[in-house]
Chain A
Amino acid sequence: MSRPDKNRLASGGLIDRAAPLSFRFDGHSYRGYAGDTLASALLANGVRLVGRSFKYHRPRGIFSAGAEEPNALVELRSGARREPNTRATVVELFDGLEATSQNRWPSLGLDVLSVNRFLSPFLGAGFYYKTFMWPASFWEKLYEPFIRRAAGLGRAAEEADPDHYEKATAFCDVLVIGAGPAGLMAALAAGRTGARVILADEDFLPGGRLNAERREVHGRAGAAYAAHVAAELASLPNVRLMTRTTVFGAYDSGTYGALERVGDHLPVPAPFQPRQRLWRIIARRAVLAAGATERPIVFGGNDRPGVMLAGAVGTYVQRHAVLPGRHIALFANNDDAWRGMLAASEAGARVEAIIDVREEVSPALVEAARARDIRVLAGSRVIATQGRKLRTVDVATPRGREQLVVDTLAVSGGWSPAVHLTCHHGGRPVWNEAIAAFVPGASPAGLTVAGAANGSFGLGAALREGAAQGAEAAEALGFPVPPLDVPAVEDEAFALQPFWHVADSKGAAFVDLQNDVTAKDVGIAHKEGFRSVEHLKRYTTLGMATDQGRTSNVTGLAIMASLTGASIPETGTTIFRPPYTPVSLGALAGHHRGKDFRPVRLTPTHEWAARQGAVFVETGAWLRAQYFPRKGEKDWLETVTREVTAVRSSVGLIDVSTFGKIDLQGPDAGSFLDRVYINGFSALAVGKARYGVMLREDGMVMDDGTTARLGPEHYVMTTTTANAAKVYQHLEFCLQVLWPELDVAIASISEQWAQIAIAGPRSREVLARVVDADVDVSNEGLPFIGAVEGRVMGGVKARLFRLSFSGELGYEIAVPARHGAALAEALMAAGEEFGITPYGTEALGVMRIEKGHVSGNELSGQTAARDLGLGRMASTKKDYIGRVMAGRPGLVDPARPGFVGFRPVERARRLRAGAHFLSLGAKPETANDEGYMTSVAYSPHLGHWIGLGLLVRGPERIGERVRAYDPVRGEEFEVEVCAPGFIDPEGERLRG
């Protein structure tokens, strides 16, 4: 089916002609080879129009041969794996590859939205900002729908990504970024010392320019030499050669981010392989050898398919054995482009002419060109182009104008070192006049730069600098450096005359091809006062999007510099930030997506609860049983009401293992607790527990819980589920930083002990059936707030606490975690005759609201103990964390919102947490806000909704009516203020 690849040279290139591949672009089948990129394969097949531009829908072709590609963005694959904005120049060809052009409708050849170019006055510089000046209705009705349809790039997949991604960390002594000549030598020099070396390159083939040029190194073809070095590196156990891996960011302390495209070159990742792997590489030293990026010259019509960077033409010819066109001309300002074009000509390309802005060019080059029958037009410039795909080029020469018939125009305005990573810690690049380019300034600590990235464009220099810096990095780390025979290669002269823009050319002259920013737009920005490069970037969008202005930044600022009359170094560059190239969000998430977003903690009774039909809820990292629905129950409220009623009338059980549990031992444990709780613990009797409140140093409540004294020097603290880690950290701070003189050892025992609460009038009878014979659980043996150690279930070590959160007679039984589920089963069996009922966090919440206990909603970090009615607990005989600040006038102001209960005046009303309180008749505005409802529940005990909340002077207003105002739900009605504690306010139930 596939057509012959008509532009493929008969021989040469680094492709595997024995491995033909078939692929599809826009529905047509084509043929390529292993070693091709999608771009090289398209060119081999004569496909030159590959996309439409961002704003003006202008036809665009392939512009580069690398990561800097601004034009050839395609949608790769289909369905759930469809990936937009993929650069065809870096997509490794695979058999069955499917790609589609973007931003065109109905087809690439006929795009009706190309009329956008007539709208260019509206889409020019600052068009985003100018739209803000339009009436709002314009934005909603006209502008946004239009821009969404007309401007833009590819379409994201609509289904969930079926592939998986992962993250990994690697450590090395020397990281070498880029496997061109400098990087290969750096890795070799460092690798031979025995240092741990990682060599990363974004390409699938190491070698960089050695694969794209015709140079000999050590008596071998450049590409063969690269393969030879790569093979040695691969053989060294201390070297890791990572191809298809882009180092995209330099972070602190020698940490680098890298993206490995593990399966992007396959139709579907290999079984159990990720599509991409995000690497965090921690390197003691790094050598940046990322090479340089060629930049174009800006002229009218420079975006036509067929206009291409000169180095890219060389790459396609030498590496892929593809002729990008039949008749090629070069437009350049430097010798390097001449050499590349002469080499391409030797390899079989038909080069018609070389147009150089310079009057004088090295006679040797001119001679070589003439010898290959190439016309030389010195002192000339391209002033216009024609053809939907390039057909003709108008050139202004010293002898007048002439038209060349060519289908490919190679362009070179010089090279820009890839300094990006050197700037990631805020370093600014420095202008180098000799090469008219920015070179690295101050680099991140531990990073040095070698080769073209350092502005050393000669091949010999790249090899030497790479070797020297690789060796130096290893040596600095103490590795003995053996001598290394660096290949001697002649350094070609790099002659260049800075030239940016053919100001007298005709037609739209694009600076930034990806964002459709023209030289005229830069002029508009200048006229409107946006002269700083950072403003220029934001105002025109120059340098934004996937290519981040790789081919346009320097040209854009050079044009701005010429408009302002400032020099290029005075004008400066925009700041380069990570990532160097786009990184998919999937790779950043790695394993942690969906249900694995973060680790879930399971309680010791999780499976048991699941068997009871529990519905689970995430509470922090924990998954807890929320309620246990039974057949026939119509909603959660019915279930929860049943559970609450069962506890209040008989007995229920709930797993409370999620509480934080901290063991404290030592002679100073009691006085330590005195200092962290507002109330005293040193006088607590052994065998007793006490409710405690701890503050932050600013006087706000941090956490609450019960702490039991198990021995003279031994306490066990419980914290809320949410604050377990925070409280532990706080205690360590107090012990290590504030009071290192205290002799207290703490240890987390949260995971060691499963803890189950049983509550209800029959709970003692249930408990009595699970404890071993010698444990006395009578009211005398285990009175309210008693805490004893004993055994349950025939010899299982246990801690028994008589505590209650629900207001009922209640106990908490702690056993080693492996026995947690067995304890639940034993309690169920023991309570069967009482209809013992498992209950979840919802019922627990209902009962604590009925009882008027504070919980997470009230411990918001903005409430003082006094606000919560807990002020009287505070000891006046001792100092404790937060004491002084809790005494601030603002926190003892009687007008602060205080903790009270609420019930609806019309009892059938449903209360809502979050509703704000207003005095009767007060206007609903912030000035009249008197607090808010923190918690609500339907009380089965009372048969109506009840609430807890913080109301200005609340405790003084018992019996008063206020309005509960809930604008979110559009509700407003009267509620009655009452004491918090709707059930058994005297506490008879829990003491009975």
Chain B
Amino acid sequence: MADRSSHDPLHDPLAGIAFDRVPPAGAYGAAGEPGVGVSTAEEPFIALAVARQGHAASVVERLRRALGVELADRPHAAIEGGTTVVGTAPGRFLVLSRSEPDLAGTLRAVLGTEAAVTEQGDGYVTFDLSGPRVPDLLAKGALVDLDPLVFRVGDAATTVIAHIGVTLWRTGETSYRLLVARSLEAAFTRFLIASGAEYGLRLENQGSGGRG
């Protein structure tokens, strides 16, 4: 199969873009008000807390108290100010913070020996998707029901989109946040552009540095 870059730019929004680079910021696809906005600009600090054996409930309690979030041991994103706690598996929580550079250290202090904490802020690229057509776009890759009628604000899922593992949650009426493995940023962005072009897609990704 030929590289798609040889294709007609009116039909292939990825025409001319190297497959092994993160596509540049800009407008893709249909003209006019974009149906989907994609931003990878924000870079929160991320750490993973894994409850040690028998401590899941206590970890929930400690996180709730320390971070002031409403939390339960289920796939849900608890959002409070600049902090988000997302359940990804039983007793497993991804904590995101906009303001806490030593997030892992803070969590270790809060959780003591009840949880294993690892830094994950470099492991993920954060995609913030917004706009009325986001559910339609995600339906082209996801196998979970993201219909806004059933996937409510705060609902979270760790799943696969276009063969790429993601953890995602709904942050607002028409906004969603997705965590994607850093090595797959280009591949995932390509999927978003190819699938979102019919709605018009605006990509902003100037914020995340250090891509080499």
Which A positions have Cβ atoms within 8 angstroms of B? 160, 162-164, 166-171, 196, 238, 268-269, 271-274, 280, 282, 590-608, 610, 616, 622-623, 663, 665-666, 742-743, 745-747, 749-754, 816-822, 824
- The 10 closest A-B CB pairs, nearest first, are A821-B212, A818-B210, A751-B123, A599-B187, A745-B116, A665-B116, A601-B183, A595-B19, A752-B123, A817-B122
Residue of A nearest to B208 (CB): A818
Instruction: Name the residue of chain B whose CB is nearest to the CB of A825.
Output: B212
Encode contact with A along B145-172: 1 for CB under 8 Å, 0 otherwise: 1010110000000000011100000000
In this complex, what residue of A is CB-closest to B145?
A171
Name the residue of chain B whose CB is nearest to the CB of A623: B20
Could you tell me if A745 and B52 are in contact, using CB atoms closer than 8 angstroms? Answer: yes
Highest count of chain A CB atoms <10 Å: which of B21, B121, B145, B182: B182
Tell whether A196 pairs with B149 under 8 Å between CB atoms, given A271-B30, A601-B183, A747-B50.
yes
Residue of A nearest to B196 (CB): A272
> B95 interface residue, CB < 8 Å from A?
no
A600 touches B187 (CB 8 A): yes
User: Shortest distance in angstroms between B13's beta carbon and chain A's nearest beta carbon?
Assistant: 6
Determine whether the beta carbon of A273 is less than 8 Å from that of B194.
no
Contact of A596 (CB < 8 Å), options: B182, B184, B190, B197: B190
Nearest-neighbor residue (CB-CB) of B181 within chain A: A751
CA of A594 to CA of B139 in the docked complex: distance in angstroms?
22
A41–B121 alpha-carbon span in the complex (Å): 62
Is there contact, CB below 8 Å, between B48 and A603? no
Known: A608-B212, A666-B116, A821-B211. 14 other contacts (CB 8 A): A271-B11, A591-B191, A593-B1, A596-B194, A597-B1, A599-B164, A601-B183, A604-B182, A607-B21, A610-B20, A746-B50, A751-B123, A818-B210, A822-B212
| Cβ contact within 8 Å between B12 and A607 | no
Whether, in the assembled complex, B57 has its beta carbon less than 8 Å from a beta carbon of chain A, the answer is: no
Report the stretch among B2-10, B79-87, B126-134 that lies at the interface: B2-10
- Cβ of B186 under 8 Å from chain A: yes
Please give, as numbers and ranges, the residues of chain B lying within 8 Å of A747 by CB-CB distance: 48, 50, 116, 118, 120
| A163 contacts across to B, CB distance below 8 A | 11
A598–B163 contact, CB under 8 A? Answer: yes
Tell me if B70 is interfacial: C-beta within 8 Å of chain A: no
Do residues A169 and B30 form an inter-chain contact, with CB atoms below 8 A? no
Contact of B147 among A196, A269, A598, A754 (CB under 8 A): A196
Known: A171-B147, A592-B163, A747-B116. A818 touches B186 (CB 8 A): no
CB distance from A358 to the nearest CB of B (A): 53
Could you tell me if A280 and B143 are in contact, using CB atoms closer than 8 angstroms? yes
Q: A271-B11, A598-B163, A816-B121 are in contact. Are A170 and B212 (CB under 8 A)?
A: no
Q: A164-B11, A167-B140, A271-B10 are in contact. Are A604 and B19 (CB under 8 A)?
A: no
Asked if A169 meets B198 with Cβ closer than 8 Å, knowing A608-B212, A622-B183, A745-B52, the reply is no
Residue B124 at the A interface, CB < 8 A?
yes
The reply to whether the CB of B195 lies closer than 8 angstroms to some CB of chain A is yes
Task: Tell yes or no: B26 within 8 A of A by CB.
Answer: no
Contact A606 B30 (CB under 8 A): no
Q: Which residue of B lies closest to A611 (CB)?
A: B212
Interface residues of B in 1-51 (CB under 8 A from A): 1-4, 7-8, 10-13, 19-21, 29-30, 48, 50-51
C-alpha gap A926/B162 in the complex (Å): 45
25 contacts between A and B (CB under 8 A): A169-B139, A169-B140, A268-B11, A272-B29, A591-B162, A591-B194, A594-B2, A594-B3, A598-B163, A599-B163, A600-B186, A601-B181, A602-B186, A604-B182, A608-B212, A610-B20, A623-B20, A663-B116, A745-B50, A747-B118, A747-B120, A751-B124, A751-B182, A752-B122, A816-B121
- Distance in angstroms from A212 CB to nearest chain B CB is 33
Q: Report the minimal beta-carbon distance from A504 to chain B, rounded to whole angstroms.
A: 56
Q: How far is the CB of B85 from chain A (nearest CB, A)?
A: 16
CB B86 to nearest CB in A, in angstroms, measures 14
Q: Indicate if the CB atoms of A602 and B183 lie closer than 8 Å.
A: yes
Task: Point out the residues of chain A lying under 8 angstroms from B141, CB to CB.
Answer: 591
Q: In whole angstroms, what is the CA distance A272 to B164 when docked?
A: 23
A160 contacts B119, C-beta separation under 8 Å: no
Chain B residues positioned under 8 Å from A610 (CB to CB): 20
B45 to chain A, nearest CB (A): 11
Contacting pair B194 A164 (CB below 8 A): yes
Measured CA separation A295–B109 after assembly (Å)? 77
Contact between A594 and B140, CB atoms less than 8 A apart: no
CB neighbours (8 Å) of A164 from chain B are: 4, 7, 11-12, 194
Q: Within 8 Å of chain A (Cβ to Cβ): is B142?
A: yes
In the docked arrangement, what's the CA distance between A745 and B29, Å?
45
Verify if B176 is at the interface (C-beta below 8 Å from A): no
Known contacts A271-B11, A623-B20, A751-B182: A591-B51 contact under CB 8 Å: no
A736 to chain B, nearest CB (A): 10
Interface residues of B in 94-140 (CB under 8 A from A): 115-116, 118-124, 139-140
Contact pick for B212, options A160, A166, A169, A820, CB 8 Å: A820
> Which residues of chain B have C-beta atoms less than 8 A from A754's C-beta?
122
User: Which residues on the A side are within 8 Å of B145 (C-beta)?
Assistant: 171, 282
Contact of A592 among B21, B162, B208 (CB under 8 A): B162
Distance in Å: Cβ of A806 to nearest Cβ of chain B: 23
The chain B residue with its CB closest to the CB of A263 is B11
CB of A198, distance to nearest CB on chain B (Å): 11
Q: Is the CB of B20 within 8 A of A616?
A: yes
Could you tell me the distance between the alpha carbons of A606 and B187 in the complex, rounded to whole angstroms?
14
Contacts A171-B147, A608-B212, A747-B116 hold; do A272 and B197 have CB atoms under 8 A apart?
yes
Residues of B within 8 A of A160 (CB): 1-2
Please tell me if the beta carbons of A607 and B11 are within 8 angstroms of each other in the complex: no
In the complex, A823 Cα to B13 Cα: how many Å? 34
Q: Which residues of the partner chain A approach B198 to less than 8 Å between Cβ atoms?
A: 272-274
With a 10 A CB-CB cut-off, give which of A622, A818, A819, A822 has the most chain B CB atoms: A818
- B212 engages A604 (CB within 8 Å): yes
Q: In the complex, are the beta carbons of B13 and A820 less than 8 A apart?
A: no
Q: How far is the CA of A395 from the CA of B21 in the complex (A)?
A: 73
Which single residue of chain B is at the shortest CB-CB distance from A748? Answer: B123
Q: Which residues of A contact B139 (CB under 8 A)?
A: 168-170
Chain A residues within 8 Å of B51, by CB: 745
> Which has the most chain B C-beta neighbours within 10 Å: A171, A272, A742?
A272
Residues of chain B within 8 A (CB-CB) of A171 are 145, 147, 150
Complex CA–CA separation, A558 to B115 (angstroms): 71
Q: How far is the CA of A171 from the CA of B12 in the complex (A)?
A: 28
Beyond A160-B1, A171-B147, A663-B118, whether A166 also contacts B210 by CB under 8 A is: no
CB distance from B117 to the nearest CB of A (A): 8
A820 to B211, CA, bound (A): 8
Q: How far is the CA of A747 from the CA of B89 in the complex (A)?
A: 12
Residues of B within 8 A of A596 (CB): 4, 19, 187, 190-191, 194
Residues of A within 8 A of B197 (CB): 272
Residues of B within 8 A of A606 (CB): 20, 212
Q: Is the CB of A605 within 8 A of B4?
A: no
User: CB-CB < 8 A to B8: which residues of A?
Assistant: 162
Write the nearest CB–CB distance from B16 to chain A, whole angstroms: 13
In the complex the two chains form, is B19's CB within 8 Å of A169's CB? Answer: no
List of A residues within 8 angstroms of B183 by Cβ:
601-604, 622, 751
Determine the distance from Cα of A443 to Cα of B102 in the docked complex, in whole angstroms. 58
| B19, B21, B163, B210 pick with most chain A CB within 10 angstroms | B210
> Would A594 and B1 be within 8 Å (CB), given that A272-B198, A666-B116 are in contact?
yes
Known: A596-B190, A745-B52. A753 touches B184 (CB 8 A): no
Docked complex Cα distance between A819 and B211 (Å): 8
Taking the nearest CB of chain B, how far is it from the CB of A841, in angstroms? Answer: 16
In the complex, are the beta carbons of B123 and A749 less than 8 A apart? yes
Contacts of B185 in A (CB 8 A): 602
Question: In this complex, what residue of A is CB-closest to B9?
Answer: A271
Measured between C-beta atoms, what is the minimum distance from B26 to chain A in Å?
Answer: 15
Contacts of A592 in B (CB 8 A): 162-163
A600 to B20, CA, bound (A): 8
CA distance A170 to B139 in the complex (A): 7
